[in-house]
Homo-oligomer: A and B are copies of this chain.
Amino acid sequence: MEETKVVLTEKEMPKQWYNIMADMPNPPAPPLHPGTRQPVGPDDLSPIFPMSLIMQEVSTERWIDIPEEVMQVYSLWRPSPLYRARRLEKALGTPAKIYYKHEGLNPTGSHKPNTSVPQAYYNKQAGIKRIATETGAGQWGSAMSFAGAFFGLDVTVYMVKVSYNQKPYRRIAMETWGGKVFASPSENTNTGRAALAANPDNPGSLGLAISEAVEDAATHSDTNYALGSVLNHVCHHQTIIGLEAMEQFKKIGEYPDVIFAACGGGSNLAGVSFPFMRDKINGRDIRIVAVEPTSCPTLTKGEFRYDFGDTAQMTPLMMMYTLGHNFIPPGDHAGGLRYHADSPIICQLYKDGLIDAIAYPQTKIFDAAMTFARTEGIIPAPESSHAIKGAIDEALKAKEEGKEKTIFFNLSGHGIFDLAAYDEYNNGRMKDTVFDPEAMKVALAELPVI
């Protein structure tokens, strides 16, 4: 019988995360303080992050030891299998080999716990009692609530009000893991109260929810803040995906020619590709492709400049490809990819030509998702389906050219929480949304010139 999965034992799980800062030809420009516009130092971050994570944020050491307690929680679902997509290959009639890493096999259904678990651990070690964080559709809030349960850490989640009302399942999952979930804007914070005073029906936004979580953390000494993407330490934690994949490819004597990953804030792309990027920097011939929605085309259409991470301008300024923090992307179903910029590391690598980027409209993404669901059996998350679409197009190109090729992508999560989007697609009600370059220009014009 032909094998479908390459598995590793827990003993074979990598014991260190990889920090690409040690190998980048050009390091990212330093983040700047939102007030002084001077480079941010560790002390600026200490009111909301533990020093251990701040040190990881600025570290240039290549390897970071994964604490034993984190390994023990990882072992609940890691190492994750590397799949050979034999049924998909057959359906496409391609000579290419398609592999994917399946990060949807943990109880939260996405790759996010790879970083929520160590973040919970380091905060607990630092004596922190509670984490405040935000969530849009609920994926990150789920991962943080899940992680909090293992370390006896309280978790407060500010969930964008419109999602809180429309997506009760994610809220219930967070509560089942012990998270306290508030519709944002809430009565808990000055930011929230002011927003409600101005408009009691304010539907909320991710920017507002971030501001509430940061305020909550900054004003309570026993409470810290946690972020699910963009930051360096988040990218480091996610490299467990790519490090495992390297071991798995080694086991079968293969190496990918090209890697596809969806890119929202960038931690998913970072996680699966950075260990391979190290080889690329050292001369190996491999293509690494970020796939984004045409409705929020940060890498393919954004400008490379300093911008804030949030709409409220509370975070440091970071050097990123950005559409402007006031740009509001259309309401596509891949909510995890609706961020106005990307991780500064990812942006620098893209700038240096080490990452390629492509963009697709959402109906094309769901065409690919459907092909995948009916061949591989897994209903993929809309975000992950961007990587699937990239891989399918590459496999069809290989077929045209009659080339054998090894294609690898990250299935960052399953789509069981996204079935309403599939219903729209199945019934022909899904439409492609349109990116408005004028709106981007307006948003970019509002940025400080640095």
A contacts, CB < 8 Å to B: 1-5, 7, 9-11, 68, 71-73, 75-76, 83, 87, 105-107, 109, 146, 149-150, 168-169, 172-173, 175-178, 370, 373-379, 414, 416-417, 419-420, 422-423, 426
Bound: A146/B375 CA distance, A = 10
Q: Return the chain B residue nearest A178 by Cβ.
A: B374
When A419-B176, A426-B172 are in contact, do A1 and B10 touch as well, CB less than 8 Å? yes
Q: Flag if A3 contacts B7 (CB, 8 Å).
A: no
Q: Flag if A423 contacts B4 (CB, 8 Å).
A: no
Q: List 6 A-B contacts (CB under 8 A).
A: A1-B68, A3-B9, A168-B420, A175-B422, A177-B373, A416-B416
| Chain B residues positioned under 8 Å from A106 (CB to CB) | 377
| Chain B residues positioned under 8 Å from A146 (CB to CB) | 377
Q: Apart from A1-B71, A177-B377, what are 7 other A-B pairs with CB-CB below 8 Å?
A: A1-B10, A3-B11, A87-B150, A168-B423, A172-B420, A172-B422, A177-B379
| Chain B residues positioned under 8 Å from A75 (CB to CB) | 1, 3-5
Interface of A is mostly: helix
Q: Return the chain B residue nearest A416 by Cβ.
A: B416
Nearest chain B CB to A148 CB, angstrom units: 10
Q: Flag if A377 contacts B176 (CB, 8 Å).
A: no
| Chain B residues positioned under 8 Å from A414 (CB to CB) | 107
Bound: A177/B423 CA distance, A = 12
Q: Flag if A72 contacts B379 (CB, 8 Å).
A: no
Q: Flag if B169 contacts A419 (CB, 8 Å).
A: yes
| Chain B residues positioned under 8 Å from A377 (CB to CB) | 73, 76, 106-107, 146, 149-150, 177
| Chain B residues positioned under 8 Å from A4 (CB to CB) | 10, 72, 75-76
Bound: A60/B247 CA distance, A = 45
Q: Flag if B374 contacts A175 (CB, 8 Å).
A: no
Bound: A303/B426 CA distance, A = 46
Q: Return the chain B residue nearest A10 by Cβ.
A: B3
By Cβ-Cβ distance, the 3 closest A-B pairs, closest first, are A4-B75, A172-B419, A172-B423
Nearest chain B CB to A71 CB, angstrom units: 6
Bound: A70/B150 CA distance, A = 38
Q: Flag if A76 contacts B176 (CB, 8 Å).
A: no
| Chain B residues positioned under 8 Å from A2 (CB to CB) | 72
Bound: A422/B177 CA distance, A = 11
| Chain B residues positioned under 8 Å from A5 (CB to CB) | 10, 75
Bound: A172/B146 CA distance, A = 27
Q: Flag if B3 contacts A176 (CB, 8 Å).
A: no
Nearest chain B CB to A251 CB, angstrom units: 11
| Chain B residues positioned under 8 Å from A420 (CB to CB) | 168-169, 172
Nearest chain B CB to A388 CB, angstrom units: 14
Bound: A175/B374 CA distance, A = 10
Bound: A173/B107 CA distance, A = 18
| Chain B residues positioned under 8 Å from A419 (CB to CB) | 168-169, 172-173, 176
| Chain B residues positioned under 8 Å from A172 (CB to CB) | 419-420, 422-423, 426
Bound: A179/B9 CA distance, A = 36
Q: Flag if A426 contacts B176 (CB, 8 Å).
A: yes
| Chain B residues positioned under 8 Å from A109 (CB to CB) | 416
Bound: A7/B8 CA distance, A = 9
| Chain B residues positioned under 8 Å from A9 (CB to CB) | 3, 7
Nearest chain B CB to A131 CB, angstrom units: 16
Cβ 8 A contact of A175, one of B1, B178, B426: B426
Q: Return the chain B residue nearest A414 by Cβ.
A: B107
| Chain B residues positioned under 8 Å from A169 (CB to CB) | 416, 419-420
Bound: A68/B1 CA distance, A = 7
Cβ 8 A contact of A379, one of B105, B173, B376, B417: B173
Nearest chain B CB to A330 CB, angstrom units: 22
